[in-house]
Every structure is written in C-alpha cells, then in structure tokens.
Structure 1
C-alpha cells in the first residue's frame, strides 16, 4: 500500500466511530418520513446503493450530501447530530493500541426499540407541524431525564 493509502486508512480508523451511528441516524430520519432508500437517493441524485452505503456507515457522508439530505428532509443539520456525542466515546489509548484510534460504541442506539418504532409510525401520520411539536416534546423529556 502506498503512503497515501496508509494515511487514508489511518484517517478512516480515526473517524469510523462516527460513520455508523451517523448513518443509523440518517436511516431513522428517512424511515420516520416513510421514504425508501431509492426515493431518497433519487432526490439526492445518487444511486440507492450509494445511499445505502452512507446509512450503513461503509461510506462517509460528504458535507454537501448531508446538506442536501437535510434540505430534502426539511431538518436542520444540527438535528442530525443531536444526541450523537452522548453515545459515542473514543477510547483512551490502551496497551496494544497504536494511537488510540480505536473507538467503542457505548450502549446500543435505541433506534430499534419497539416503542420508538410505534411512536415514529404514529408520528408519520400527523401533519408536519404536529410532527415538529412532538419532536420538541420528546427532546424536552430527554433533556429533563438528563438533569
């Protein structure tokens, strides 16, 4: 492997901890709006396979594509990242780790929880203004639990 290839692989390892949970968040946001990967990909001007690689964390989401996603989903970029730092922690360098670039995911994301799925399904049936109100209530409850 070339030196540039080695540097790219090291960079990938350093940032991998965000790719998968970010992709999972994007998938959840898409599913909450009842949109398929193919429908979203068409709106973004990419293939459904490419979008699937973003959602799986296999490929990073470029900033411009994240911006397009947010415009399409009618959400702020900050909403995509909201809550992610609390569930992603970089491990301190341990013996055997070259540079501390390995990451651990602390706790499983609650994306697949049955109650969350039922709430999401019910929320999709509401008008957009009501969906935003529901999201604000959920965030307020989350913030209340954090204190």
Structure 2
C-alpha cells in the first residue's frame, strides 16, 4: 500500500538523485542527519510542512513538485489511503537517469528525443502531456 508519505518520500529521493545530491548533503542543508533523510525517503517518517519547504528549496523545486500527479484512490477500491501516483515510474533508477540526461539536452535535441520516444510507443493508451486533460 502506498501512502502519500511514501509517494512524497519517493519524489524527494528521485529529485535528490537526479541532482546528484547525497543524503548526507541534503540532511546537512536542511538541518537533519542522513538517517532522517532515509526515513523521509522511505515514508517511514512523515515530513513536516516546514521541513518539506526546506527540502524543496535545497533541491531547487517548488514544494508542489512533491505532490504533482498524485490522485485520490478510485472510489471502488475502498482504500482511501492508497493514492494513485501518475509519476510512480520515478521509482525506477533508469527513469530518473533518463530525466536527468534529458534535462541537460539542448531544446532541439529534447524535441528530437521526445519525437523518437513517441514513435516507439505507438500505443494509443499512452497519454501525451501536451494534449488537453
């Protein structure tokens, strides 16, 4: 079961790894030990609002970054604590690495990579983010 705490922790980890920041360095910048960062990332410990704000500043994102794509669980699942995470793929190391590489590309290369990946998917069930929601 994935709770919002777990999903937020995974987002913290994904962003930290994408930026090449160690748990110790993140901990130092927000005033906690690396073990506490581990607990945040695993969802074992909840992150307070003020601490999440500090983490967002340290990782150079808006605090809303950690909640983007989280949707309530479906009504028929009966489990209100298990949110749907549209960005759950960020748990995969390869996905984080790919995003990190993508961010470093020139705009023209980004467009070329995106066009190439779209040709690979040819599956109508893949949602394009530039289409109306």
Which TM bucket (shorter chain)?
0.5 to 0.7
Q: CA RMSD in A?
A: 3.5
Q: 2:53 aligns with which of 67, 71, 86?
A: 67
- Answering whether residue 87 of structure 2 is matched by residue 103 of structure 1, we say no
- Answering whether residue 106 of structure 2 is matched by residue 120 of structure 1, we say no
**Closer, same or farther: CA 107–69 of 1 in aligned 2, 3 Å:** closer
CA distance in 1: counterparts of 2:85 and 2:65, whole angstroms: 20
- Mind listing any 5+ residue stretches in structure 2 that lack a counterpart? 115-126
CA radius of gyration, larger in: 1
Structure 2 length-normalised TM: 0.67
Q: 1:38 aligns with which of 20, 24, 42?
A: 24
| Contact 1:91 1:102 (C-alpha < 8 Å) held by counterparts | no
| Contact 1:53 1:59 (C-alpha < 8 Å) held by counterparts | yes
Shift of 1:144: 2.1
Shift of 1:114: 2.6
Question: SS in structure 1 opposite 2:73?
Answer: strand
| Contact 1:25 1:80 (C-alpha < 8 Å) held by counterparts | yes
Structure 1 length-normalised TM: 0.61
**Closer, same or farther: CA 70–102 of 1 in aligned 2, 3 Å:** closer
| Contact 2:10 2:41 (C-alpha < 8 Å) held by counterparts | yes
CA distance in 2: counterparts of 1:28 and 1:35, whole angstroms: 10
- Answering whether residue 73 of structure 2 is matched by residue 89 of structure 1, we say yes
CA distance in 2: counterparts of 1:38 and 1:103, whole angstroms: 30
- Mind listing any 5+ residue stretches in structure 1 that lack a counterpart? 1-12, 95-99
**Closer, same or farther: CA 46–38 of 1 in aligned 2, 3 Å:** same
Q: Which runs of 4+ in 1 moved over 3 A?
A: 90-94, 104-108
